[in-house]
Chains A and B, each alone.
Chain A
Amino acid sequence: MKGKAFLNGAYIALIFALLLVLSPVQLGFAQYAEPIRREKALSFLENVVQLDLSKYEVKTITEDEHMPPPLPVWYEEVSYMLKTGGGWLDVGCLFVNDSFIGCRIYKHDNVTLHYTVEQPTNLIDKAKGLLKRYGNWIRNPLNREMELLEKMVKVDNVNITSDDMDLRVSVTGILVDFQWILLYGNGLELRVLTISFEDYSLYWFTDFRDLYKVGSITLKVSKEDAIEMALSLAKNFSWKVGETEIKDFVIKKEPIGVELTLWNREPYTFYPHWRITLFLDKVYPGGVTGIQVGIWADTGEIHYIIALSTGGGPPPQDSSTPSPEPEPAPSPQPSPQPSIPMEYSCAIIAITILAVTAASSYLYIKRKRDRNKT
């Protein structure tokens, strides 16, 4: 039993280690951001958002390179704390390969927003101003985007369409979002530009127009074919709960979930993809209520098939003779604080050492390399 516990511990430690090596824990040990990123971030705040930086105490808080698991997307973030009387702004600007992608601006406490130029009170005018200044800033006017914005009369949940682009505006509480979406036919679309306001001030700006690419919009597999392929695959599908294999299940004829989207098969390059969700007639062992199949629509290649272990199902059937509600039981005494199982303790030590070692080695080598460069 002890041997088994140890093996479990080692196994958990391995999982931990793998997860942690790939996890963002190591973000803190990243290299310094290139000065150009810092300059760009501040320039965006000053020239596009029109923040009066002289009214803030500007402090760089992180300059991280993010390598989120599982790897394919790499971006850098420069974060600033802009302190002023009553509160502070938490600003994070994203870059990919030193190209500016966007900024998030979060307000903390009772921060006052100081602008170099008086800001319009109307959100449409605010969005127009931002779009125009951003176009000037990147030296590439956003004429098509502006044309759609010009058609807006009032801030509301609206959808303004041109040939191949949508401007979708949504209003939820204090959040107002302007999204520009490229349309590729067959329902394929890609969100490329977003401006969001929270309580009348900009809090989210992203521009993926130059970063995102569409690798193909060819539909080699039709919707009907995709459903047929999914049903055929699901027939021979099985899953395990513990040691028990479940292969005897009934797929409902309807509804069938069908979704055609652009999915980035390669970093930042998108391809059409069918996601077919087949629902089962009841909740099966393992909490499985459906089977999902992913199919690349441009090649017909199966991307994945999984059992969907959702967290429950519809309420069980009623019984005909009601019985009283569960009597509240007396609360147990405060339990002695249960100790961490031994396998976890082993795992924690192993992981901590592994993670810190990996991170510090990375930093050390990186710095040495950087020093050699200079």
Chain B
Amino acid sequence: MWRRTSFPTTILLLVLLAVLPIQMSSIKTVGAVRNGSVIYGIPAQMEAGEDQATINVCSVIWYYFYLTGRYQYLRNYCGSNTQNYLVYSVANYLETYPYDFATVFYKGHSTYLPPNSAYNPCSHNHTFLYDNDGGGSTMIKNGGFENGNAYWTVGGPGDHMVTNEDHNWGSYSMLLGFKYSANVANGRDYAYQLITVPSGLTTVKLSFWYHLFTYDSVAYDWFAVYVAPVGGDPVLKFKKGGVDYPGLEVYGWEQVVIDISAYVGQSIYIYFEVANMYDTAYKTWCYIDDVSATDNWIWDSEIGLRTVNGIHDFVFLWSCSTANEAQIGGISGTHTWGMAASWLKRTALSLNGYANPDYSGHCFIGFQYYSKPFKEPTGYSSYTYGYFAVLFYYYALIEGQTIKQALDSAATVCFGTSFQYTPLYNGYSYNGYLSKMRVWGDGGMTLP
């Protein structure tokens, strides 16, 4: 709690602050409780206004932690340092050093993957956060075809050309198939690139967008993607075609994500083709765009492998779908799913820790479906959701309020009412999804 400070005391404080070592990590007190706090954010993956808001908010939150003087490990990794390997490493460090209390704030993008899908064959929902490099790729070059077909090898009897007539992002895409060229029986029109998947990576994903047009059925014509290790056999990873013929069927633009982690340390061909098989009837063509091979996702299951001692007690993920209805997640041996279960290493959390705190001393805040942008106005005066986040931490850290109280206090300023009357608590419809902020666990806890 802030107290009135006399002027000489203030001067003393000023001098002390100026000469104190900046890095709080250097403060070691015998017998003291060790607290750690890390702030992550991915401004590079955001629209310009939101990116600045994210940088500002993360900086101020960091500063409030700093002002407490109680966090021996305190880092603001918002920006280029928000990388999956660093998140994993820091989580592991805070758990095993060991610290007594660790807290995480993340502002960015995230997605949950339904069970039994290609890149999530697990029978549970899995969630990943994006890192600051997001969908960018260092493995695939010119994946958006903005530089013509540079780095790509193209061939076959079809169109195989870079075009601006259709695209997902940017201005260009690669057209494969037989839109303009005459059909050739058993003709395969293709584009491929040789990449090396560096050793030491954990989860590597191949992602691309496609827009398929076909008059034929998948038995005759298709769009397919193969991964082929150098000197090895190609492995079919994706195949799409029409249900029937002769009517036009259109698919996309749609994103496909394929796990290629099995090829870590190898050189592989990423091979796209449109095949016109057996006869010359009915045309098929496909645009592809935004091809990337990335290791940019921060997986819940990977976090769960590091949070071995349950040290992370308060985690606030300001991003989408990290707290979907009753999706706290689960723990089975070393395998975890769901951000809450993976970070906090527990599943017995109150589903409404604001109204019904479970007094477990553990709290997770996330969003059901879409999170609110920081720069969106709250609808009260000129406050934004970014201010709400800042003020929440101000009241929690500087005023020493509980999570619930800090939510109320921040809401009082930014909405003119307490938290339970805000859209964050009651929900807001976004793109057909009822979205809201979820507080799981102990809203009655205070941050040390």
- Complex contact B92–A61 (CB within 8 A): no
Once A311-B108, A327-B261, A328-B334 are accepted as A-B contacts, the answer to whether A360 and B355 lie under 8 Å apart by CB is no
- Interface majority SS on A: helix, strand, loop or mixed? mixed
- Complex contact B14–A328 (CB within 8 A): no
A325-345 near B? 1/0 per residue, CB < 8 Å = 111110110110111100011
Residue B309, interface by CB 8 Å: no
Pick the residue among B14, B44, B253, B413 that contacts A282 (CB under 8 A): B253
Residue B228, interface by CB 8 Å: no
A345-374 near B? 1/0 per residue, CB < 8 Å = 101110111001101100110010000000
- Complex contact A311–B1 (CB within 8 A): no
Residue A68, interface by CB 8 Å: yes
- Complex contact A334–B92 (CB within 8 A): yes
A240-255 near B? 1/0 per residue, CB < 8 Å = 1110101010001001
Please, which residues of chain A bring their CB within 8 A of the CB of B170?
Answer: 244
Q: Which residue of A lies closest to B351 (CB)?
A: A173
Residue A87, interface by CB 8 Å: no
> Number of residues in B with C-beta < 8 Å to the partner?
126
- Complex contact B119–A319 (CB within 8 A): yes
Residue B247, interface by CB 8 Å: no
Residue A141, interface by CB 8 Å: no
Residue A15, interface by CB 8 Å: yes
- Complex contact B420–A172 (CB within 8 A): yes
Residue B31, interface by CB 8 Å: no
Interface size class of A (residues with CB under 8 A): 35 or more
- Complex contact B18–A353 (CB within 8 A): yes
Cα-based distance from A177 to B418 in the complex (angstroms): 11
Interface residues of B (CB under 8 A from A): 1-5, 7, 10-11, 13-14, 17-18, 22-23, 25, 44-51, 55-56, 59-60, 63, 66-67, 73, 75-76, 81, 85-86, 88-90, 92-93, 96-97, 107-114, 116-122, 130, 169-171, 202-203, 207, 236-240, 253-262, 299, 301-302, 305-306, 318-321, 334-335, 352, 355-356, 367, 370-373, 375-377, 379-383, 387, 390-391, 394, 398, 402, 405, 408, 412-413, 416-418, 420-421, 429-432
The 6 closest A-B CB pairs, nearest first, are A28-B2, A312-B320, A319-B118, A311-B319, A286-B47, A173-B356
Once A174-B356, A292-B376, A313-B111 are accepted as A-B contacts, the answer to whether A191 and B430 lie under 8 Å apart by CB is no
Q: Which residue of B lies closest to A345 (CB)?
A: B22
Once A328-B334, A360-B14 are accepted as A-B contacts, the answer to whether A240 and B418 lie under 8 Å apart by CB is no
Please, which residues of chain B bring their CB within 8 A of the CB of A62?
Answer: 1-3
Please, which residues of chain A bring their CB within 8 A of the CB of B51?
Answer: 241, 286, 309
- A-B residue pairs in contact (CB < 8 Å), sample of 8: A29-B4, A174-B355, A196-B420, A264-B416, A309-B49, A320-B238, A322-B117, A326-B261
Q: Which residue of A lies closest to B334 (CB)?
A: A328
- Interface majority SS on B: helix, strand, loop or mixed? mixed
Residue A115, interface by CB 8 Å: no
Pick the residue among A23, A294, A332 that contacts B89 (CB under 8 A): A332
- Complex contact A255–B47 (CB within 8 A): no
Once A16-B59, A23-B60, A311-B318 are accepted as A-B contacts, the answer to whether A326 and B17 lie under 8 Å apart by CB is no
How far, in Å, is B183 (CB) from chain A's closest CB? 24
Once A106-B405, A349-B18 are accepted as A-B contacts, the answer to whether A28 and B261 lie under 8 Å apart by CB is no
Pick the residue among B46, B76, B301 that contacts A287 (CB under 8 A): B46
- Complex contact A309–B88 (CB within 8 A): no
- Complex contact A316–B121 (CB within 8 A): no
- Complex contact B238–A68 (CB within 8 A): no
Please, which residues of chain A bring their CB within 8 A of the CB of B236?
Answer: 321
Cα-based distance from A106 to B400 in the complex (angstroms): 13
Please, which residues of chain B bring their CB within 8 A of the CB of A359?
Answer: 10
A87-122 near B? 1/0 per residue, CB < 8 Å = 000100010000000001010000000000000000
Cα-based distance from A321 to B371 in the complex (angstroms): 31
Please, which residues of chain B bring their CB within 8 A of the CB of A310?
Answer: 109, 320, 370-373, 430
Please, which residues of chain A bring their CB within 8 A of the CB of B371?
Answer: 310-312
Pick the residue among B301, B379, B387, B413 that contacts A275 (CB under 8 A): B379
Please, which residues of chain B bring their CB within 8 A of the CB of A25?
Answer: 67, 394, 398
Cα-based distance from A346 to B152 in the complex (angstroms): 45
- Complex contact A335–B90 (CB within 8 A): yes
Residue A318, interface by CB 8 Å: yes
Please, which residues of chain B bring their CB within 8 A of the CB of A244?
Answer: 170
Q: Which residue of B lies closest to A241 (CB)?
A: B47
How far, in Å, is A67 (CB) from chain B's closest CB? 10
- Complex contact B432–A312 (CB within 8 A): no
Please, which residues of chain A bring their CB within 8 A of the CB of B352?
Answer: 172-173
- Complex contact A289–B431 (CB within 8 A): yes
Q: Which residue of B lies closest to A352 (CB)?
A: B17
